[in-house]
Amino acid sequence: MPMYEFRCEKCGEKFERLLPYLEAKKTQECPRCEKLSGKRVVSAPSVSASQGSGGFGGGGCGPTGFG
């Protein structure tokens, strides 16, 4: 389930929620002021790589990672 970031339109609080896609479209309750005014904001995706993931630094399908 993806993590979504929200900002309260009443108090400005930013908060995150783990929600199914359809629930993330709905206005969320703010954990600070408890108003139903949390709107989803666009945030940068989280990306991580580890050794052996097929990227640079080895691993993947062959010694160069390309087969």
Q: Is residue 48 part of a domain?
A: no
21-61 per-position pLDDT tens digit: 999 999 999 999 999 999 999 877 777 776 655 555 555 55
What secondary structure letter does DSSP report for 65?
S
Q: Is residue 52 part of a domain?
A: no
Q: Is residue 50 part of a domain?
A: no
Structural domains counted in the chain: 1
- What is the pLDDT, as a whole number, of residue 65? 57
Q: Return d(Cα 17, Cα 23) in angstroms, integer.
A: 10
Q: Is residue 61 part of a domain?
A: no
SS3 41: strand
- What is the pLDDT, as a whole number, of residue 52? 58
Q: Is residue 67 part of a domain?
A: no
Amino acid residing at 56: F
pTM of the model: 0.64
Q: Is residue 34 part of a domain?
A: yes
Q: Return d(Cα 37, Cα 26) in angstroms, integer.
A: 10
- What is the pLDDT, as a whole number, of residue 47? 79
Structural domain harbouring 23: 3-41
